[in-house]
Amino acid sequence: MAARFNPSMRAMVLTQSSDVGRNPLALQDVPAPDPGRDEVRMRVHVCGVCRTDLHVVEGDLPPSKRPLIPGHEVVGVVDRVGTRVRTVKEGDRIGIAWLRDTCGQCEFCRSGRENLCERAQFTGYQWDGGYAEYAVVPAAFAYPIPPLFKDGEAAPLLCAGIIGFRALRLSEVKPGENLGLYGFGASAHITIQVAKHWGCKVFVCSLREEHRQLACDLGAAWVGGADEQPPEKLHGAIMFAPVGELVPPALRALRRGGTVALAGIHMTPIPALDYDRDVFGERTIRSVTANTKQDGLDLLAAAAAIPIRPHTQLFTLEHANTALQALKAGTINGAAVLTVAG
């Protein structure tokens, strides 16, 4: 059998972590990846721009591979499959998310908590991601994209949506209860749509006026400044803003027995807590660590059923630095998405 042509591809490549204002991603022509025997390769159509990408590019997370192609909210069409793949075929539209692979053998993997696997691998961090024309992923972690969503709408669901959905679950808020959202970016603007579908009353604390307006448009019962106290006590809250000093006011906004879920992969230091004021009354603070495959499947099903309508701002692949700069500045209203191919 004749060898299959393996094209080169355009990609935005990180060689050294740096402030995004210095344009650390460079457009390069690099070899397109080949899928392993259990992997599939996709022709990338779009890739969402996530705050985790910002942390990777600026070096807030421990160093990973270099050079690196970031991006982990990837949507495209399969163009090649590995020799052992039976569940995905060429021509399928799929998504690639942050969690790329796990060991499958540890106590966490065996108990449905593979997001806590200590040997987990992540897209756009230890492995090249979707700021490129091609990307590969194990077939077991390829998500089928509901046909309801256009490519650009689906991209932010694959991390902003999944993490927000997991954080909502971990906040332990029940349908009809009061939920607080601190920060109102890509993840929060999806999460509020799920919470409203549940009949929750949603209170939003956000720094920027345009984000507060979007929260109002999406049905928030109240919006205020980043550290304002909501007018009603909360059954649960989600901290999307990576700002540790907002944790104490979020805890104070809780009813007794409430939970604050910290949805970010990175956060500035949390100030000292006053036990009687901030914690007593069985208030809980918990982190959200990556996601399970089931979280992704559940979110995509819920998103199609509701349906969720992400607000997106489009950038071309070569303007990935600009998109990250806008994300850092807080000027993205909704989610940023790179267009790679049609």
**Domain match, 212 and 316 both:** no
Angle subtended at Cα 252 by Cα 251 and Cα 255, rounded to the nearest 5 degrees: 85
Average pLDDT taken over every residue of the chain: 96
Cα gap 340→96, rounded to integer Å: 15
**Domain match, 114 and 15 both:** yes
**Domain match, 15 and 27 both:** yes
Nearest-10 Cα torsion for 117, 118, 120, 125: 140
Largest CA distance in the chain: 73
Kindly give the residue spans of alpha helices, DSSP state H, lying in the chain.
Answer: 51-58, 107-110, 151-154, 160-170, 186-197, 209-217, 247-252, 293-305, 320-329
The terminus-to-terminus CA distance of the chain in angstroms comes to 30
Q: What pLDDT score was predicted for residue 291?
A: 94
In the chain, DSSP finds a helix count (H) and a strand count (E) of: 9, 17
Q: What is the CATH number of the domain that holds 53?
A: 3.90.180.10
Which long-range CB contacts under 8 A does 220-226 form with residues at least 24 apart?
220/181, 220/192, 226/182, 226/183
Cβ-based neighbour number of residue 88 at 10 Å: 20
Burial environment of residue 1 by CB neighbours within 10 A (0 to 12, 13 to 18, 19 or more): exposed
**Domain match, 152 and 18 both:** yes
Within a domain: 297:
no
**Domain match, 47 and 136 both:** yes
Within a domain: 2:
no
**Domain match, 146 and 32 both:** yes
Q: What pLDDT score was predicted for residue 341?
A: 84
**Domain match, 121 and 199 both:** no
Cis peptide before 271, with omega less than 30 degrees from 0? no
Within a domain: 228:
yes
pLDDT per residue, tens digit, the chain (342 aa), is 344 556 799 999 999 999 999 999 999 999 999 999 999 999 999 999 999 999 999 999 998 899 999 999 999 999 999 999 999 999 999 999 999 999 999 999 999 999 999 999 999 999 999 999 999 999 999 999 999 999 999 999 999 999 999 999 999 999 999 999 999 999 999 999 999 999 999 999 998 999 999 999 999 999 999 878 999 999 999 999 999 999 999 999 999 999 999 999 999 999 999 999 999 999 999 999 999 999 999 999 999 999 999 999 999 999 999 999 999 999 999 999 999 985
Within a domain: 108:
yes
Within a domain: 200:
yes
**Domain match, 127 and 142 both:** yes
Within a domain: 27:
yes
Domains in the chain: how many in total? 2
**Domain match, 12 and 145 both:** yes
Within a domain: 293:
no
Write down the residue that tokens 């906004």 correspond to.
Answer: 253
Q: What pLDDT score was predicted for residue 227?
A: 79
| Residue count of the chain | 342
Q: What is the CATH number of the domain that holds 186?
A: 3.40.50.720
Within a domain: 305:
no
**Domain match, 204 and 329 both:** no
Domain final residue, candidates 287, 302, 323: 287
Q: What pLDDT score was predicted for residue 194?
A: 98
Residue 104 sits in which domain range?
8-158+311-339
Instruction: Give the residues across from 135 on adjacent strands.
Output: 42
**Domain match, 16 and 69 both:** yes
**Domain match, 171 and 117 both:** no
